[in-house]
């Protein structure tokens, strides 16, 4: 799944327009002026469904499902976090870039946490996963 897919998905299914590729970020980013939520998207990597079987059972390794992990970061006013987060989650949940696998491989929430905060703003990171297709 390409990062642009997520950017386009969020832009098309929410009212947010400041959606970009994630760059190397510093804590100073939260101190920049903010008029609308800022959303940054980036790929994190790939995880195995059963990482412990990789070295113990090569035969089962061929059936070890891969999960692509992506990050969606947002900076918004603290009071708006629940609303912004829910709109973004609604935009990606159940979506799939693989039309032939859409009944099997869809985007879903994995975990989320605060990256930084000020008295008025919060920087949130949400990790989402996509089971890599076997049919497409």
Least confident of 16-25, 92-101, 123-132: 92-101
pLDDT tier, 120 (very low <50, low <70, confident <90, very high otherwise): very high
Per-residue pLDDT of 76-111, as tens digits, reads 999 999 999 999 999 999 998 887 765 678 899 999
Task: Specify the pLDDT at position 136.
Answer: 43
Give me the pLDDT at residue 52, please. 64
Q: Name the nearest CA neighbour of 62 among 74, 71, 50.
A: 50
- Domains of the chain and any CATH numbers: 3-70+81-131 (3.30.2000.10)
pLDDT in the model for residue 49: 73
| pLDDT tens-digit series, residues 60-75 | 555 667 889 999 999 9
3-state per-residue secondary structure call for the chain: CCHHHHHHHHHHHCCCCCEEECCCCCHHHHHCCCCCCEEEEEEEEEEECCCCHHHHCHHHHCCCCEEEEEEEEEEEEHHHHHHHHHHHHHHHCCCCCCHHHCCCCCEEEEEEEEEEECCCEEEEEEEEEEECCCCC
The confidence band for 132, taking pLDDT boundaries of 50, 70 and 90, is confident
pLDDT (0 to 100) of residue 59? 56
How does pLDDT run across 1-10, given as a tens digit for each residue? 789 999 999 9
pLDDT recorded at residue 62: 59
Task: Specify the residue for token string 């900076």.
Answer: 75
Q: How confident is the model at residue 32 (pLDDT cuts 50, 70, 90)?
A: confident
């Amino acid at each position: 799944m390409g990062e642009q897919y997520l950017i386009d998905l969020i832009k098309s299914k929410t009212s947010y327009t400041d959606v970009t590729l994630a760059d190397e970020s510093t804590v100073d980013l939260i101190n920049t002026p903010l008029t609308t939520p800022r959303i940054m998207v980036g790929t994190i990597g790939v995880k195995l469904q059963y990482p412990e079987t990789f070295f113990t059972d090569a035969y089962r390794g061929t059936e070890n499902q891969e999960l692509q992990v992506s990050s969606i970061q947002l900076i918004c006013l603290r009071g708006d976090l629940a609303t912004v987060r829910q709109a973004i989650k609604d935009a990606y949940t159940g979506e799939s870039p693989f039309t032939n696998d859409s009944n099997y491989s869809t985007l879903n929430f994995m975990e989320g946490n605060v990256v930084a905060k000020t008295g008025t703003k919060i920087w949130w990171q949400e990790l989402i996963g996509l089971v890599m297709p076997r049919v497409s």
